[in-house]
Amino acid sequence: MGYAEVAVNSPAAQRRTFSYTVPPDLSVTIGQAVWVPFGNKLLQGIVLELPERPAVAETKEIAGIMEPRPLLSPAYVSLARWISDYYLSPLFEAVALMLPPGFERKALTFVSLSQVPDDFDPASLTPEQRQVFDRLQKEGRISQKHLEKILSKKKAQTVVSQLVKRGLAVRNYELEPIKTKPKFQAYLSLASRPPLPPEAITPLRKGAKKQAALLDYLAQQSQPVPWTEVRQKVGCARAVVDTLARKGLVTIQRLEVRRDPLSHQVIIPSQPLALVPAQESALNSIKSSLLMARAGAPPTVFLLHGVTGSGKTEVYLQALAEAVRLGKRGIVLVPEISLTPQTIERFAARFPNRVAVLHSQLSPGEQFDEWQRIRNGEFDVVVGARSAIFAPQPDLGLIIIDEEHEWTYKQHEKSPRYHTRDVAIKLAELTGAVIVLGSATPDVETFYHAQKGDYHLLQLPERVTPTQPAPLPQVEVVDLREELKAGNRSLFSGSLSHAITRAVAAGEQVILFLNRRGTATFVQCRRCGFVLRCRRCEVALTYHSASNALVCHQCNYHMPVPQLCPRCWSRQIKFLGLGTQKLEQETGQTFAPVKVLRWDSDATTGKHSHQEILNKFRAHQADILIGTQMVAKGLDLPQVTVVGVVNADTGLNLPDFRAGERTFQLLSQVAGRAGRGPLGGQAIIQTYSPEHYAIQAAAKHDYALFYDKEITFRRQLHYPPFTRLASLVYTHTNDGLCQREAERMKRVLHTEIQSQGIADLSTIGPAPAFMHRLRGRFRWQLVLRGSHLSSFLSQIPFPPGWTIDIDLVGLN
């Protein structure tokens, strides 16, 4: 007898599998979706293992198979287990990442007749059993629901069980109908080919002009045409079609439509470019690793570090072409699909009709279609946001993560709280795929691994400049303290306002960038730029209006708000904060009659509105574009000659040890937006802390300068990559209770750390979380620091209300 270990779709299953017996008439494989009894329910499960012996003595039988083809290949089964173990997520949640969209459905039970034994005597049945038996003989198969309607629910269940026990009937299970059905559309064509004889059309020309027009139109088409298109082209009503169909002149077919997310774009196929030497040498390294991986060598992780415009994308494209040549396929991850339409177009253009695009804004039907087609091996390349790493791409040979430093690669809002980069590296290890991580401003942790030799570093130090010299833009750092001294209290320094006025007068365009997160939460001296920081954690202190105090969000250090600046004794110590709407207003007034466009998450709600705002700006319907993080992403706007950062300090002073890194990345990207066209360009960064290394390095486009300072800081304060952090957050409607539970957990952890004698583990906090109150609940955070967090935490019982985020990124 065989056994199966199954990940069951139930919240009660948590991180473990359950053992089942495989009935002799079922053939079960690893990765297959099955129905299993669980409590008194029948639930979905995925077979993860077929062991010789079950983990428990008593096992129930697998009730049925959902789909003969396994949904997960063995590599993905291992990946799911790794995600569950490492990120401490329920096993089925990890498995679910890899299942087709719309998979999670209920079971419907059907009853059918089985082989009736020769010596069977129908007279031995009770009247109710007889009733069901007769119906089964007539219909072959009946749904349990239907039987429950005829008898009662209880009776139907009893009678069916009795028949099954006697070997007269069997139950089988089917999924309830899928919610994301394939989409069908009516297609029209002429009923006869070659075309209709004139005598069929001529009489219509006078009395029924629309009918004649429709027939004429269809006669010109070589294939059936969608009804929606006919309606548009011919302008006739559906009744006209129906009349012609009744006359037998027109055929109506219902055909499946492919909901192609690229269909609203016109894609012109492109050819590979002749590479510049730096690109050539990067590509050659990747090519030889692809070859070696095919021969079974462990695949390499590459870090492709190249400034914006250095031709990284062209390297990705040619590396993918090589993988395809070797009979492999690729996955390309981008931080946020809706922000990178140009990148996607480039992939679609190089691999015409061989690119699938996956992202969460697709309708469920579109996602379902794409998933099935990917699994069937219809695409060379899958492009998508973070969850596309789980696309069922067969023969995976190359994984590309563009802008690998982006924080959107970490799923923090729901479990499993995975980091796409780490998942991809694990997947590559399991499948033998090569990975290319690309960035102009690599994550400090990634770069550290590249320096250590864990990853292979490839560099593209210069911009590719096909038409004319377009160096990286000039960056000017403006000291806002000096502006204040000179009596300028407006949002715009002399330099910035001069540059804007000049650009607008010359018919050029301007981008103003504002890092809106965390506004008005930190306190800064406007005279000397001093920011109050925690002495222990080095993160900026955050203002709490309730207690009128400054608080460290990591360790809970408190202090009153000072009246004077502790450094220069000035009274100009202020809460800094500014929103995009206010900036929009002031910009409009200061530079009237200029046209201003605002781009932030409030302004973009619809499906294509990112694109619409961009198109408007590109069509020069506005002179100035104001935006938050989004404007920093990979846009190519050749008419932009001035980029202004209104206040660089907002990002720098978030209570997060990565604030410096984040600011450097954003400023580098924002500065890279200027000077993309023949007009050249300049960037202006306004700040109260011009001496900060993140700002200095971004202004000089100097990654090495930034990295050296940042890695020293990380080493000194013992932050990643020299250790790992886990954020443990407890939420409750009662703040006091929340704090007490967090403190209790800290004691639990300490006791455990001591009894196991793990020197390397320590806790920070607890403290109110950065978002102390969220949707009516209070939140307290405890940070655990050390190198092996998951194995330690997996032994600790966490009551409901706790959330664990391993390797957290950003603020909790």
Which spans of this chain sit near ligand ADP (rule: CB under 6 A)? Answer: 273-276, 279, 306, 308-314, 464, 466
Partner whose footprint covers residue 275, from Zn ion, ligand ADP, none (CB < 5 to 8 Å by kind): ligand ADP
Closest separation in Å from C-beta 106 to Zn ion: 49
Q: What is the rounded CA–CA span in Å between residue 110 and residue 660?
A: 61
Instruction: Note if the bond before 194 is cis, omega within 30 degrees.
Output: yes
Looking at the Cβ atoms of 344 and 789, the one nearer to ligand ADP is: 344
Partner whose footprint covers residue 537, from ligand ADP, Zn ion, none (CB < 5 to 8 Å by kind): Zn ion
CA atoms within 13 A on the CB side of 466: 8
Partner whose footprint covers residue 310, from ligand ADP, Zn ion, none (CB < 5 to 8 Å by kind): ligand ADP
Q: Which of residues 258-317 bind Zn ion (CB under 5 A)?
A: none
- Kind of pairing, strands 301-306 and 456-460? parallel
Looking at the Cβ atoms of 312 and 526, the one nearer to ligand ADP is: 312
Nearest by Cα to 624 from 569, 578, 566, 585: 585
Residues in the chain: 812
Looking at the Cβ atoms of 64 and 306, the one nearer to ligand ADP is: 306
Does 793 help bind Zn ion (rule: CB under 5 A)? no
DSSP 388-402: GGG---TTEEEEEEE
Looking at the Cβ atoms of 314 and 805, the one nearer to ligand ADP is: 314
Looking at the Cβ atoms of 410 and 526, the one nearer to Zn ion is: 526
26, 186, 568, 705: residue in contact with Zn ion (rule CB under 5 A): 568
Q: How far is CA 13 from CA 17, 39, 91, in A?
A: 7, 11, 8
Q: Are 80 and 48 in contact (CB under 8 A)?
A: yes
259, 533, 567, 616: residue in contact with Zn ion (rule CB under 5 A): 567
Looking at the Cβ atoms of 536 and 608, the one nearer to Zn ion is: 536
Does 783 help bind Zn ion (rule: CB under 5 A)? no
User: Can you point out the beta strands (E) in 569-673?
Assistant: 573-575, 596-599, 624-627, 640-645
Looking at the Cβ atoms of 213 and 464, the one nearer to ligand ADP is: 464
Looking at the Cβ atoms of 458 and 729, the one nearer to ligand ADP is: 458
Q: What is the rounded CA–CA span in Å between residue 684 and residue 671?
A: 8
Looking at the Cβ atoms of 204 and 537, the one nearer to Zn ion is: 537
Does 767 help bind Zn ion (rule: CB under 5 A)? no
Q: How far is CA 478 from CA 574, 646, 690, in A?
A: 19, 10, 7
Q: How far is CA 45 from CA 95, 168, 420, 428, in A?
A: 10, 28, 25, 26
Partner whose footprint covers residue 322, from ligand ADP, Zn ion, none (CB < 5 to 8 Å by kind): none
Task: Please tell me the count of residues contacting Zn ion according to CB under 5 A.
Answer: 15
Q: Which of residues 539-558 bind Zn ion (CB under 5 A)?
A: 552, 554-555, 557
Looking at the Cβ atoms of 110 and 351, the one nearer to ligand ADP is: 351
Partner whose footprint covers residue 66, from ligand ADP, Zn ion, none (CB < 5 to 8 Å by kind): none
Partner whose footprint covers residue 554, from ligand ADP, Zn ion, none (CB < 5 to 8 Å by kind): Zn ion
Contacts of 566 (CB under 8 A, 6+ apart): 530, 532
Name the one range near Zn ion by CB under 5 A: 191-199, 271-279, 281-289, 533-541: 533-541
**Residue for token pair 């930034």:** 706
164, 219, 275, 528: residue in contact with Zn ion (rule CB under 5 A): 528
Vertex 693: Cα angle to 690 and 695 (nearest 5): 50
Does 450 help bind Zn ion (rule: CB under 5 A)? no
Burial class (CB in 10 A: 0-12, 13-18, 19+), 334: buried
For 291, list phi and psi in degrees, rounded to 5. Answer: -65, -45
Closest separation in Å from C-beta 576 to Zn ion: 13
Q: Are 513 and 578 in contact (CB under 8 A)?
A: no
Partner whose footprint covers residue 464, from ligand ADP, Zn ion, none (CB < 5 to 8 Å by kind): ligand ADP
Does 659 help bind Zn ion (rule: CB under 5 A)? no
Buried/exposed 74-85: b ≥16 CB within 10 Å, e otherwise: ebbbbbbbbbbe
Closest separation in Å from C-beta 804 to ligand ADP: 36
Applying CB under 5 A, the residues found at the interface with Zn ion are 525, 527-528, 530, 534, 536-537, 552, 554-555, 557, 565, 567-568, 570
